[in-house]
Structure 1
Amino acid sequence: MIRTECLTGDAVAAVLDDLARLRIAVFRDWPYLYDGDLGYERDYLHAYQSPGAVVVAAWDGDRMVGAATGAPMEDHAGDFAAAFANRPERLDEIFYCAESVLLPDYRGHGLGHAFFDGREAQARALGRRYSAFCSVIRPEDHPLRPPAYRPLDGFWLKRGYAPLPGVVAGFDWKDIGESRSTRKSLQFWMKPL
């Protein structure tokens, strides 16, 4: 039986290593192709120790099998402020739904909805007016794209999110098989709460 829980405050720090391992495992696959390491992950995940952050964790017994994170957008302003520079929404009105990572054997059982429900509930509790996330943009003809890959656009649209035209951020990470980090483009999606 899979259980989910929304963690905030001190409870977040207790699961950051589990979350780091999940990010490394899940984001190694398409479309992220991330060649991660635990040291980088620990630095990156520090943002989720902010007062408004949430980790929605999925557990199979004592094993974390999935998680979704979120935090006030201003906690990520250094990375994403430029993408929103020409938007009418203020960063302090937006809740950023960051990663959703779920091991393959646990997909297709409604956990994606639980992840968004938990993050959107946190956003509303903080008085945010919008919920946003971003997804990596990869070319259709990328050589590592699996033939049976199905984008999640339909799922996101059903949840009320829509891509924001021209709201694209850049973020660096090292792809598998590469010797250094390169810039990736990330498309923002948003919905009113």
Structure 2
Amino acid sequence: MSKDIRIQRLSGEALVQYIPELARLRIEVFRDFPYLYDGDYEYEKKYLQTYINCPESVIVLAFDGDAIIGASTAIPLKYETAEVKKPFIENGYNPDQVFYCGESVLNKAYRGLGIGVKFFEQREAHAEDLGGFKHITFCCVERPADHPRRPADYVPLDAFWNKRGYVKHPELQTTYSWKDLDEAFETPKPMTFWLKEEHA
């Protein structure tokens, strides 16, 4: 990584000043496949408020100088919504023992520099600092292989996630609803969770 790029872990009220930049970055990055998210700034502010309100949450920020070029969120699963907790409860997991990584967003110009690895390392370190977790998880959207907006050169991140120790669990699924770029209203999207043993 460039010597000008720094990674910083923040929680709670320390995040307030960065909300506008974080919302802008999420909307920008999630427009791309596979999310195709038609972003809404007011929704983003409300979403990010969850992390400000929870003292055990974390957002890892990547800076180039003073500019935010990436961000990654995480929070204990017990503070998440019912739709996120439901598949774990139904499959016998204790939500109190699961740490949930929300998402990572990174400006395209800075990809391939190892920042994504740093995001996982910092979120896992935060879970370790909090203690009491048996599993770390995240979820990703499932899009059909023949999706009309799938780029010809699209490469899923499965290999990267496997290398970080995460395993896909098809039995752990939920749905999130958002409005795709070519949709008039929100539709439900299938999401599959990946798990890593905290002390594997």
Q: What is the TM-score of this pair, normalised by structure 1? A: 0.97
For residues 62-104 of structure 1, the C-alpha deviation after alignment (integer angstroms, 9 at most, x for no partner) is 1111000000111113231222133232111011100100011
Report what 1:181 is aligned to: 186
Aligned counterpart for 1:122 among listed residues 106, 123, 126: 126
User: Number of aligned pairs?
Assistant: 193
For the residue of structure 2 that corresponds to 1:14, the secondary structure is helix
**Partners of 1:12 and 1:54 within 8 A in 2:** no
Which consecutive aligned stretches of 4+ in structure 1 deviate over 2 angstroms post-superposition? 85-89
Does residue 136 (structure 1) correspond to residue 176 (structure 2)? The answer is: no
Distance 2:27 2:180 in 1: 11
- Pairwise CA RMSD: 1.0
Structure 1 unpaired stretches of 5+: none
Q: Does 1:73 align with 2:77?
A: yes
Q: What 5-or-longer segments of structure 2 have no aligned partner?
A: none
Of 29, 34, 42, which aligns to 2:32?
A: 29
TM-score (norm 2): 0.93
Percent of aligned positions with the same letter in both sequences? 47
Q: How many Å separate the matches in 1 of 2:130 and 2:91?
A: 21
Amino acid at match of 1:168: Q
How far, CA to CA, are the matches of 2:196 and 2:19 in structure 1? 27
Corresponding position: 1:9 with 2:12: yes
Amino acid of the residue matched to residue 28 of structure 1? R
How far has the Cα of 1:17 moved from its partner? 1.8
Which one-letter code corresponds to 1:87 in the other structure? N
**Structure 2: distance between partners of 1:25 and 1:135:** 18
What is the match of residue 160 of structure 2? 155
